[in-house]
């Protein structure tokens, strides 16, 4: 059962990954100045190199175009890149290879810069491998100027920091709203973006911030019901003097119900979340099994009673489709506690051999489909639910099909 279920989940995961193709409205301008309105595949660019895919309309074929052949590209309201001839510091950033020169080593190059803030003062970013540089423009400088930050090795063998970017901002990008912010500003996307927003807010001029994701509602509460195909087996290990046997209680269809708390992580596109979905589970069944090597009276009626509260803690990845629908993949750790009434009843009293049930941690995997406030999800988990009792082990497997509705 386990191998078949895992195979199904892997096939579903592969189909889910292949299904994610997002083309969004945007444009690009080639090196001759021709602007093309189109649908651009959102590949979550971090480092701009190689090529991108686009198509003129939804039903047209995909076209591949090199980034080197364009001067500007944008997916509306998400990102924007513009090409400029700029002086960029090409000093080595590897901490083990730092130079002793605190001055930047500039090289002029035509680069596609990522637009972070566009306004009276604009902020840009350039990334290549481990290099991260920030640039700015204002009314006096329409060609981006690099904000200088450089680590170097001092004569004493310690790290030195050239933080000239603070002086540049103090001289060229300063207003009443930023005068107390320079001392604590770091050379980072988040810190510099906040600073440029403060500066542009000092003026009546409008500005635009390009955000690759918008953090929406963070916490969701969902009601869940469903069914589960559960299988429990118990094994008594034999020795030279003790008869070993295994009892399989078979597949049982049981109802499950519970709720889910989901927290959306602040990631691009709201694609990742953490969630817990506690649920109650109950199994009661009886089987006849051979439990002895005696020629007669070697079978027993074995009754399984198992009730538990499950608390899986999982991470979920959403894959957005069309029409406000999503696929999801999830993975987590299972915490579970069996009720005191849970037991294997062999119909006889054999102290220190009949184990008491108590759950160990296990893993849980899932795939799902989500549409507006509704969702359907398939989850699999397998674990040993027995205490550390010598000579015994169990295998407890569940394949859950659940339906959920977002309450708020």
CA dist., res. 105 & res. 239, Å (int): 75
Residue 26 has pLDDT above 60, yes or no: yes
For 215-406, CATH gives: 2.40.160
Beta bridge partners of 228: 254, 400
Domain regions of the chain by residue span: 22-76, 93-108+115-212, 215-406
Residue 314 has pLDDT above 60, yes or no: yes
CB-CB contact of 67 with 51 (8 Å):
yes
Instruction: Give the pLDDT score at 38.
Output: 96
- For residue 322, name the pLDDT band (cuts at 50, 70, 90): low
Mention every residue, 6+ apart, whose C-beta is less than 8 A from residue 293. 243
The pair of structure tokens assigned to 373 is: 């406030």
Query: Among residues 73, 85, 3, 79, which one has the least CA distance to residue 35?
Result: 73
Beta bridge partners of 260: 222
27-74 pLDDT per residue, tens: 999 999 999 999 998 877 777 888 999 999 988 999 999 999 999 999
Residue range 126-132: mean pLDDT, rounded: 87
Q: Three-class SS of residue 193?
A: helix
Residue range 265-290: mean pLDDT, rounded: 82
Greater model confidence, 138 or 354: 138
The yes or no reply on domain 22-76 and CATH 2.30.30 is yes
Query: Among residues 199, 187, 83, 198, which one has the least CA distance to residue 143?
Result: 83
219-256 pLDDT per residue, tens: 999 999 999 998 888 887 777 666 677 788 888 888 88
- For residue 351, name the pLDDT band (cuts at 50, 70, 90): very low
148-175 pLDDT per residue, tens: 999 999 988 899 999 999 999 999 999 9
């Amino acid at each position: 059962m386990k191998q078949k279920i895992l195979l199904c989940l892997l096939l579903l995961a592969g189909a889910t990954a292949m299904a994610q193709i997002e083309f969004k409205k945007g444009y690009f301008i080639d090196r001759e100045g021709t602007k093309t309105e189109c649908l651009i595949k959102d590949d979550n660019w971090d480092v701009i190199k190689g090529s991108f895919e686009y198509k003129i309309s939804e039903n047209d074929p995909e076209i591949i175009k090199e980034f080197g052949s364009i001067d500007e590209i944008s997916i509306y309201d998400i990102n924007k890149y513009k090409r400029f001839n700029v002086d960029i510091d090409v000093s080595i950033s590897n901490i083990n290879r730092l130079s002793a020169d605190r001055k930047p080593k500039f090289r002029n190059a035509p680069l596609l810069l990522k637009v972070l803030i566009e306004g009276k003062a604009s902020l840009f970013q350039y990334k290549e491998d481990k290099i991260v540089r920030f640039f700015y423009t204002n009314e006096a400088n329409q060609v981006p100027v690099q904000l200088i930050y450089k680590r170097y090795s001092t004569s004493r063998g310690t790290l030195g920091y050239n933080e000239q970017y603070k002086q540049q901002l103090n001289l060229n990008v300063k207003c009443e709203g930023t005068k107390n912010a320079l001392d604590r500003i770091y050379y980072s996307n988040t810190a510099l973006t906040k600073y440029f927003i403060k500066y542009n807010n000092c003026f009546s001029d409008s500005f635009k911030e390009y955000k690759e994701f918008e953090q929406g509602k963070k916490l969701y509460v969902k009601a869940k019901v469903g069914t589960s195909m559960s299988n429990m087996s118990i094994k008594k290990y034999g020795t030279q003097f003790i008869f070993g046997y295994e009892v399989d209680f078979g597949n049982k269809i049981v109802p499950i119900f519970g709720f889910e708390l989901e927290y959306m992580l602040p990631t691009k596109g709201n694609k990742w979340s953490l969630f817990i979905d506690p649920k109650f589970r109950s199994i009661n069944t009886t089987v006849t099994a051979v439990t002895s090597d005696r020629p007669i009276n070697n079978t027993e009626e074995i009754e399984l009673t198992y009730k538990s509260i499950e608390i899986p803690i999982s991470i979920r990845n959403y894959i957005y489709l069309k029409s406000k629908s999503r696929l999801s993949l999830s993975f987590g750790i299972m915490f579970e506690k069996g009720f005191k009434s849970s037991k294997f009843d062999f119909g006889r009293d054999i102290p220190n051999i009949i184990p008491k049930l108590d759950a160990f941690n296990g893993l849980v995997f899932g795939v799902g489909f989500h549409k507006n406030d509704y969702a359907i999800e398939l989850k699999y988990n397998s674990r040993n639910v027995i205490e550390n009792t010598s000579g015994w082990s169990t295998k407890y497997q569940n394949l859950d099909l659940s339906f959920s509705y977002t309450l708020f």
